[in-house]
Amino acid sequence: MTKLPGPEAPKAPPAGAPPLPPANRSRTAHGLTRAAAEGRFALQRCPACARFTYPPRDACPKCLCPALEFVDAPEGGLLVSSTTIHASVDPYFREHLPWRQGLVTADCGPPIIVHLHRDCVEGERVRLSLQLDKAGQPVVFARPATETPNMQDDPAWQEMTADPRSRRILITNGRHPAAPALARALLQAGAASVDVGLSDPDEAFDGGALLRATDNVTPVALDLTDARSVAALAAAIGAEVDILINTADHVRPVHLFERDAPRCLMETMDATVAATAHLAQAFGPAMMARGAAGPNSAVAWVNILSAYALGGHPEFGPVSVAHAACLSLSHWLRAELRPGGIRVLNAFTGPVEGEWYQRVPPPKTSPSQLSRAVVDGLRRGLEDIYIGDIARDIQARLAANPKALERENGQ
């Protein structure tokens, strides 16, 4: 049996890991997790009597129907009572006191205990959303129904989100066609600086000039296929990266029976799966250590994934395989980063405009569309976003019938 190199990963959170909010949930409650991950507000509704219920139940309290479904629900509600908690039995909340809690009567009926934005006022209307807290678990958050000044600055809201404002950001692969647009969108959203990894920072390429011409963007030497290169960059800036945006990718259309296919597949795996693993090893621990460092903490890891990770496309076999592996790796990474309070956001995109997918007919995802969606996902603290018509189409078809998706992609 081959002995794997390196020490075994510790099972317990690292010493000094920040306390996280209470993470126990019933299985039924993860219907909320699913909606929160995508930024939807969904509650259970009875298919028989159409009544909304909350908290998550296993039968309808009105008609005992045992088949409650999570469906999108109206986001409005009325704040009927509130409190400010100054004493908590939980270590996470003890570090974040005082903490506001509200009781909201949702427009669709049920009473909902919520995390309460500081600008919410008793007797006034609120807007409800499902968020993932620092433990990655679903919670209901209430904000004022209408915009208030500096709404994003609420400390409780910041615990639920990963706003790029004032953050130092690393985009791992500057050759990704969306990299220049991502850098600009993040800076427009208030990011302090953006480092962009390039295997050869001096080499000319489409978008290179654009990157170099943008203020607060710094090209940094980073060969994602070389663990030493990744480690060297982490040693230099790893302690300051607040958000890592992993754009590792490698697109070479090939058919499986072509002589070159196995090599092409392994190259793609190297450039994506192995690259992500190198990045995780080099940057993950340092980010976890800064997961609770206040306003300038490390907050998020973003993977830009091909929607073909969800349903393979024969024309893009290596990308489909590699990104499916990256998707699985992202779940591993998410579980490993969770004790540090670092979010993992997977941004699934259809083919992106640019040289990689030139032969693919529209609709394609534009770099600016992708960039806006990533910034929005970070601001809202999402976990899974689907960008562009093709990605959303694949998501919907996968949910409806995975076999239909497989057959249709193969035709």
CA distance linking residue 176 with residue 357, whole number of Å: 12
Interface residue with another protein among 122, 124, 153, 260 (CB under 8 A) is 122
Residue 155 found at the interface with another protein (CB under 8 A): no
Residue 24 found at the interface with another protein (CB under 8 A): yes
Residue 115 found at the interface with another protein (CB under 8 A): yes
Residue 90 found at the interface with another protein (CB under 8 A): yes
Stretch that binds another protein, among 96-104, 159-167, 306-314, 318-326 (CB under 8 A): 96-104
Residue 34 found at the interface with another protein (CB under 8 A): no
Residue 85 found at the interface with another protein (CB under 8 A): yes
User: How many Cα atoms within 13 Å fall on the side-chain side of residue 257?
Assistant: 0
Please tell me what DSSP assigns to residue 23. -
Residue 105 found at the interface with another protein (CB under 8 A): yes
Question: CB of 280 within 8 A of CB of 336?
Answer: yes
Residue 81 found at the interface with another protein (CB under 8 A): yes
Give min distance, CB of 256 to another protein, in A: 47
Stretch that binds another protein, among 41-49, 131-139, 315-323, 392-400 (CB under 8 A): 131-139
Residue 82 found at the interface with another protein (CB under 8 A): yes
Interface residue with another protein among 17, 40, 51, 93 (CB under 8 A) is 93
Interface residue with another protein among 36, 46, 73, 103 (CB under 8 A) is 103
CA distance linking residue 405 with residue 400, whole number of Å: 9
Stretch that binds another protein, among 51-59, 173-181, 336-344, 398-406 (CB under 8 A): 51-59
Interface residue with another protein among 34, 101, 226, 315 (CB under 8 A) is 101
Residue 380 phi, psi dihedral angles, 5° rounding: -95, -5
The three-class DSSP label of residue 346 is strand
Residue 56 found at the interface with another protein (CB under 8 A): yes
Nearest Cα residue to 212 out of 179, 176, 234: 179
Question: CB of 112 within 8 A of CB of 120?
Answer: no
Angle between helices 402-409 and 388-400 (to 10 degrees): 130
Interface residue with another protein among 4, 9, 12, 89 (CB under 8 A) is 89
CB-based contacts of 284: which residues, under 8 Å, 6+ apart? 301, 333, 336, 337, 342
Give min distance, CB of 101 to another protein, in A: 5
Structure tokens at 308: 């073909």
Q: How far is CA 114 from CA 1, 47, 83, 166, in A?
A: 52, 25, 11, 28
Give min distance, CB of 244 to another protein, in A: 27
Helix-then-strand count for the chain, H and E: 12, 15
Of residues 255 through 274, those in contact with another protein by CB under 8 A are: none
Interface residue with another protein among 61, 74, 190, 410 (CB under 8 A) is 61
Interface residue with another protein among 41, 52, 70, 99 (CB under 8 A) is 99
Minimum CB distance to another protein smaller for 161 or for 395:
161
Alpha helices in 56-127 (DSSP H): 91-94
Interface residue with another protein among 80, 236, 239, 335 (CB under 8 A) is 80
Structure tokens at 391: 């990605």
Give min distance, CB of 28 to another protein, in A: 8
Structure tokens at 95: 């570090």
Residues that contact another protein, how many (by CB under 8 A): 41
Residue 164 found at the interface with another protein (CB under 8 A): no
Interface residue with another protein among 13, 17, 29, 226 (CB under 8 A) is 29
Residue 88 found at the interface with another protein (CB under 8 A): yes
Minimum CB distance to another protein smaller for 33 or for 199:
33
User: How many Cα atoms within 13 Å fall on the side-chain side of residue 93?
Assistant: 15
Stretch that binds another protein, among 98-106, 217-225, 289-297, 315-323 (CB under 8 A): 98-106
Residue 137 found at the interface with another protein (CB under 8 A): yes
CA distance linking residue 76 with residue 396, whole number of Å: 26
Percentages of the chain per state (helix, strand, coil), in multiples of 5: 35, 20, 40
CB-based contacts of 193: which residues, under 8 Å, 6+ apart? 168, 169, 216, 217, 218
Alpha helices in 134-189 (DSSP H): 155-160, 179-188
Q: What angle do CA 24, 26, 27 make, to 5 degrees?
A: 120
The contact set with another protein (CB under 8 A) reads 21-26, 28-29, 54-56, 61, 80-90, 92-93, 99, 101-103, 105, 111-115, 122-123, 133, 135, 137, 139
